[in-house]
Structure 1
Amino acid sequence: MTDLSRRTLVKSAAVLAATAPLPSLARSAKTPRIGRYIAVPESGVHAFKGIRYGRAERFARPVAEPLEGPAITAAKFGPICPQRAMAGEPQSEDCLFLNVWTPEADPRAKRAVMVYFHGGAYTTGSVTDPLTHGAKLAADGDVVVVTVNHRLNALGYAWLKPFGARYADSGNLGQLDLILALQWVREHIAKIGGDPARVMVFGQSGGGAKIATLMAMPAAKGLFHAAATMSGQQVQASGPAHAWARTQAFMAALKLAPGDVEGLRTMQIERLVEGLAATDPIMGGGVYFGPVLDMTNLPRHPFWPDAAPQSLGVPMILGNVREETRAFLDPRGPKLQGLSWENLAARMVPEIKIDLDPVWVVEQYRAHEPGWTPEQVYYAATTAGRSWPGQVIEADARAAAGAGSTWVYQLDRPSPTDPLRGAAHTDDIPYVFGTLDAPGSYSGTDDAARRLSGAMMRAFTGLAKTGRPELAQWSPYRLPARETMVFGDTVRVENDPRRWQRELWARAPYVQPGV
């Protein structure tokens, strides 16, 4: 699906939702509110969209926003962080908004709370995507769902501390936004039916990486009681030297003098966003902004040299999809055109983050899986050498530290709507949210999709409610067995699936993007 067609579908869905008749909920119960925000009914639950949780000046720490004020019907999302993607969405630096779906806005309800952080690395994305609307999960899972937008890219993660104490928190401002949102949940969620003592954070791709980073941030300690990461890990943060090189490359692309931080702080946001097209001086490609090891807000790497001790007691689900890279290495695109055994090794090189001889790698795959095609090897190897290692490192680190409340999954079910897609990055989102029929979903809506969605939803809501997945057969992850739940058309536990691939890629260090 092209970006243009996806945006068209998303806009159409939003128009239909806005013009649909209100459910009976609105006529049968008093409309709840929290502070100045008045709920709207949505699919049988109460929705509060566009709640402002904070404000922030450019490159400064966020500050909390009072709930009280003139009444607002909370019927639409707030603007998203300025970025080069999602051009059809309202964008603004004033983007610290969250959204809540609750089955019952009664302080006595005390339902478990699930707080979602979106993907898009640390550079793009938002929670306005219909795949992550929370009404279905709130209703079917009997939980309160919160989704959060925050500052991204240079606005949230540019390293400016060398310019002076005014910028001491730069490099991790996007993370501080998330901490402020979690503090909002702690202070206010009980007013609309949530239990501040049972808060689970979950996120996909970049959202999972943000969670892994929070697990090493002292200010986040105690703000959440369970966590789940979906194809998103953060083994290491960016070091300050590399972060500074990126800031300098970004400023050069904006034609600013190396010391002109005031120009960066005051320039028009449209021009600042244009600068995000700068080339990354460390890894090539677009300039990377992400959490920085600043020794204050983030005093250690999240999962190096071990799992952050402060979060070992937090129950955690870690998951990945079997062929992650099919989502961003388009099987219909130029990188796959003319793929053969002769050029396979060379085409793999730019896509992997572990430095092994690609010719040797191809030989190993052909020896282990002689029936595979070059395309199958390409996607298996690029997934195992790029998108999967971080999850293995994190799960192993928790197991090695004795954190028994760790569960690992692998999504195997291929898309029934696009056979070339297989089981790819982002494909677990609609199963967990129950948004199988949302624009952008590849899950289909058949019986198998609904069964799998029910299982994954029970697992995630079970972790939020009780600290363990609500699937009796799902064993905790331990070494050396590496018990893994395989979510496919059947649901089963396997010990160390893809073992030989894991061992192959473990022969050399994993390079976390951004370090």
Structure 2
Amino acid sequence: MLVDMTANDVNVVTSQGVVAGVRGKRTRAGSVSWRGIPFAAPPVAQRRFGAPEPAANWPGVRAADRYGKAEIQRREFTAVAPGKFWPMGEDCLTLNVFAPQRRSSSPRPVMLFIHGGAYLLGTAATPLYDGSLLARDGDVIVVTAQYRFGAFGYLDFSAYSTPERTFTSNNGLRDQVAALEWVRDNIAAFGGDPTNVTVFGESAGGSAVTALLTAPAAEGLFARAISESPALGLVVDAEEAAVFADEFLRLLADPDRKSRTMERTEDPISPEKAQQLLTQASGREIHEASERLSRFAVRAGADAFIPFGPVIDGDYLPKRPVHAALAGQTHRVPLIIGTNKDEANLFAKMMSVLPGADEALLGVKDPEQRAALIAVYNDGHPRANIRMAGDAIFWGAMMPFAEGHMQHSPTFVYRYDYDPKVLRWVGLGATHATELFAVFGAFRMALGVGLAAGEWRNTARITRQVQRHWSVFARTGTPEKQWPQYDDASRSVMVLDVPPHVERNPQSVRREAWHKLHQLVG
């Protein structure tokens, strides 16, 4: 039986064994962290491409002073400091707990964070996701979790299962559910309240939050949700998922293969052959085949231009999250959801990966619908295409999701506008992911101190503002009182800036155009 330790002692008893944490120093003083705790068994060997299984117990005291491995990806995406890269491996299912050091007379709210990365990259070891300051200053327990992505987490090989070995769909989503289950069973020992869990995430992590709001297995595991800049198009329909799985197997067998069509004309791969390929390949070979599959998806004109993401399998994830929301089928929990003012600038300026108008509207098959959307943005704005592409990925589907969810649960919509001088100078503005510096207090860490140059006071104000809203919401289910609920009458959006303000029904014409589109295709 676990002990409710509101004092957050360094040694904590979990259901698998005792973990020894570390007290924060310097900037992180006043916090305690436990890093690299396994929440599931290593998904290797016969567990590869299967649902997460319970972690094994360990004897004695386990040092929880180092993050676990990142999922296998391109090495440069694991950078945690100049010239320093985090170790990678398939044995990556660990989580990290951050807590205030001071005593509490009652259990604290819990916030579980899911990192982004387009379901292709990322690691919970990224310094930006250090939960120490949010935990300390928000008086909450913060948990960050590593999950499988890419082929390891989001290719559906279930059609190749046999009685001897079962493959499951949506393993990355299943990992997130397993992390929530671990929190339910263990977080009281760290001083957290297992009945008051907020799941939050950004980008693909924000999309994962919307999937969790739809997945039956996640119901009851969290009491509130925060979705930051979700890309709701990062899902894969079952038919395309089957093609991607087939093509991936063929790419494993023949790395020089250059198919350009989603049509399948070759003889099906047998379950026995598939299992042989998936078992014998190394983790690196699987990653390399994943990169080739990504290029195939572009060449073949797949609707899912990224072939990895939650699969609409009709079971673990019954519907696309935006369609589930419009049908009133999301879980009944309060929600904060929003995007950043200049979402697309990061991709257009720094990464050169933002799709053009045609690619952004690839999933819009009806010519009249495409023409109607393009007309909304044909207002002479010099960056009209960038705005439309950014909205197609983020805001355009996020708003219909909010409109659906608000019909049954309290919903609070934001737009993050704060852009320090450095970001304005380089032409990024309040672009994708910049709100995370406020959420995690990173303007005061080595990672973000350069962004605060000349804006020390304002970065402190935006950090206090965002952390206060997030932590009060985690505690009560509503942000601070100046943030009105989103509803049909006013459609109020909180603009997070210095100073903050509320806008009523902003960009109504664009919003209605996207809402109509998603209603028609839902």
How many Å apart are 1:364 and its aligned residue? 5.2
CA distance 1:234–1:247, shift in 2 (3 Å): same
Match of 1:255 in 2: 253
How many Å apart are 1:285 and its aligned residue? 8.8
Match of 2:418 in 1: 413
Equivalent-residue separation in structure 1 for 2:303 and 2:315 (angstroms): 28
User: More displaced, 248-257 or 436-445?
Assistant: 436-445
Give, as a single letter, the amino acid of the residue that structure 2 aligns with 1:465: R
CA distance 1:156–1:98, shift in 2 (3 Å): same
Which residue of the other structure, out of 15, 20, 23, is the alignment partner of 1:41?
Answer: 23
The question of 1:432 aligning with 2:411 is answered no
| 8 Å contact from structure 2 (residues 118, 234) kept in 1 | no
The question of 1:477 aligning with 2:452 is answered no
CA distance 1:168–1:317, shift in 2 (3 Å): farther
CA distance 1:95–1:407, shift in 2 (3 Å): same
How many Å apart are 1:324 and its aligned residue? 0.7
Match of 1:154 in 2: 151
1:302-358 superposed Cα distances (whole Å, 9 cap, x missing partner): 231545756442010001011111111116x7789xxxxxxxxx9533344564788
How many Å apart are 1:505 and its aligned residue? 4.5
Match of 2:4 in 1: none
| 8 Å contact from structure 1 (residues 384, 501) kept in 2 | no
Match of 1:423 in 2: 430
| 8 Å contact from structure 1 (residues 248, 258) kept in 2 | yes
| 8 Å contact from structure 2 (residues 462, 496) kept in 1 | yes
Equivalent-residue separation in structure 1 for 2:237 and 2:353 (angstroms): 32
Equivalent-residue separation in structure 2 for 1:29 and 1:201 (angstroms): 21
How many Å apart are 1:386 and its aligned residue? 2.6
* CA RMSD after TM alignment: 3.0
| 8 Å contact from structure 1 (residues 233, 394) kept in 2 | no
Match of 2:10 in 1: 31
Equivalent-residue separation in structure 2 for 1:329 and 1:323 (angstroms): 11
Match of 2:54 in 1: 64
The question of 1:453 aligning with 2:492 is answered no
| 8 Å contact from structure 1 (residues 226, 464) kept in 2 | yes
Give, as a single letter, the amino acid of the residue that structure 2 aligns with 1:41: R
Match of 2:68 in 1: 78
Equivalent-residue separation in structure 2 for 1:118 and 1:432 (angstroms): 13
| 8 Å contact from structure 1 (residues 114, 145) kept in 2 | yes
How many Å apart are 1:380 and its aligned residue? 2.2
Which residue of the other structure, out of 124, 127, 149, is the alignment partner of 1:127?
Answer: 124
Give, as a single letter, the amino acid of the residue that structure 1 aligns with 2:173: Q
Which residue of the other structure, out of 161, 164, 176, is the alignment partner of 1:164?
Answer: 161
Task: State the SS of the aligned residue for 1:186.
Answer: helix
The question of 1:319 aligning with 2:343 is answered no
Equivalent-residue separation in structure 1 for 2:227 and 2:438 (angstroms): 14
The question of 1:391 aligning with 2:375 is answered no
Equivalent-residue separation in structure 2 for 1:484 and 1:330 (angstroms): 27
Give, as a single letter, the amino acid of the residue that structure 2 aligns with 1:92: G
Equivalent-residue separation in structure 2 for 1:216 and 1:29 (angstroms): 33
User: More displaced, 308-317 or 124-133?
Assistant: 308-317
Task: State the SS of the aligned residue for 2:308.
Answer: coil
User: More displaced, 445-454 or 233-242?
Assistant: 233-242
User: More displaced, 247-256 or 45-54?
Assistant: 247-256
**Structure 1: tracts of 5 or more residues without a match:** 1-27, 337-345
| 8 Å contact from structure 2 (residues 402, 413) kept in 1 | yes
Equivalent-residue separation in structure 2 for 1:297 and 1:84 (angstroms): 29
1:237-269 superposed Cα distances (whole Å, 9 cap, x missing partner): 422111011112222222358333121233111
How many Å apart are 1:225 and its aligned residue? 0.3
| 8 Å contact from structure 1 (residues 436, 443) kept in 2 | yes
Match of 1:402 in 2: 408
Which residue of the other structure, out of 162, 178, 181, is the alignment partner of 1:180?
Answer: 178
The question of 1:271 aligning with 2:285 is answered yes
Equivalent-residue separation in structure 1 for 2:398 and 2:363 (angstroms): 14
How many Å apart are 1:408 and its aligned residue? 0.3
Which residue of the other structure, out of 467, 482, 487, is the alignment partner of 2:477?
Answer: 467
Give, as a single letter, the amino acid of the residue that structure 2 aligns with 1:270: R
Give, as a single letter, the amino acid of the residue that structure 1 aligns with 2:341: R
| 8 Å contact from structure 1 (residues 116, 201) kept in 2 | yes
Give, as a single letter, the amino acid of the residue that structure 2 aligns with 1:51: I
| 8 Å contact from structure 1 (residues 431, 453) kept in 2 | yes
Equivalent-residue separation in structure 2 for 1:304 and 1:240 (angstroms): 15
| 8 Å contact from structure 2 (residues 8, 191) kept in 1 | no
Equivalence map 1:366-385=2 (5 Å): 367=379, 372=381, 374=382, 376-385=383-392
How many Å apart are 1:300 and its aligned residue? 3.3
1:260-295 superposed Cα distances (whole Å, 9 cap, x missing partner): 312123311111100111221453797511112223
Equivalence map 1:220-369=2 (5 Å): 220-234=218-232, 237-255=235-253, 258-259=269-270, 260-261=273-274, 262-277=276-291, 278=293, 279-280=296-297, 281-283=300-302, 287-307=306-326, 311-330=330-349, 347-352=356-361, 355=364, 365=377, 367=379
| 8 Å contact from structure 2 (residues 232, 393) kept in 1 | no
Aligned pair count? 468
Which residue of the other structure, out of 32, 54, 74, is the alignment partner of 2:40?
Answer: 54
The question of 1:194 aligning with 2:192 is answered yes
Give, as a single letter, the amino acid of the residue that structure 2 aligns with 1:484: V
Equivalent-residue separation in structure 2 for 1:163 and 1:289 (angstroms): 18
Equivalent-residue separation in structure 2 for 1:314 and 1:410 (angstroms): 21
CA distance 1:482–1:455, shift in 2 (3 Å): same
User: More displaced, 411-420 or 291-300?
Assistant: 291-300
Give, as a single letter, the amino acid of the residue that structure 1 aligns with 2:418: R
TM normalised by structure 2 equals: 0.82
